[in-house]
Amino acid sequence: MDGRTEQDTIIDCNGIMRMIPHRYPFLMVDRIVNISPGSGAVGLKNVTINEPQFQGHFPNYPIMPGVLIVEALAQTAAVLVVHTLGPEAEGKLVYFMSIDNARFRRPVVPGDQLRLEVQKDRSRGPVWRFNGTASVDAQVVAEATFAAMIRDGEK
């Protein structure tokens, strides 16, 4: 044993791609920097100008669409679900069921690093409910409560 705890676990982009099926240009999490199975996770998303949404989403004032911030929170939650359930859950799909109380506090622009914090509120069978907060430089930029269901992917 090397003394690391689950909270010390870092999952890089290759590990994330083993766990969830999202790929460029729709993979919205670059790294998981903290994870506690069945409880919560913290992910990072580096926002860069070369992302495709900036070509058409206010091209003269590029801001990250709020829906993509919520998607980044959901992908962080999906990694938490798969990590909690173990290797047999890798590659399964985690579908949105609801998004409630979404609030957007300030724009996210290229050069920002999103810190994506999700906490499990509860789970029952395949349905999980989360509270998520996205921040930049310790300032909350978005928050939402959302539910998702884990299912086998269609082949």
As annotated, the active-site residues are: 57
Length of the chain counted residue by residue: 155
Sign of the Cα pseudo-torsion (64, 20, 76, 8, in order): negative
Q: Which of 40, 44, 35, 64 is nearest to 116 (CA)?
A: 44
Edge-to-edge strand order for the sheet containing 127-136?
Answer: 31-36, 40-46, 113-124, 127-136, 139-151, 93-104
Taking the C-alpha atoms of residue 122 and residue 115, their distance in angstroms, rounded to an integer, is: 22
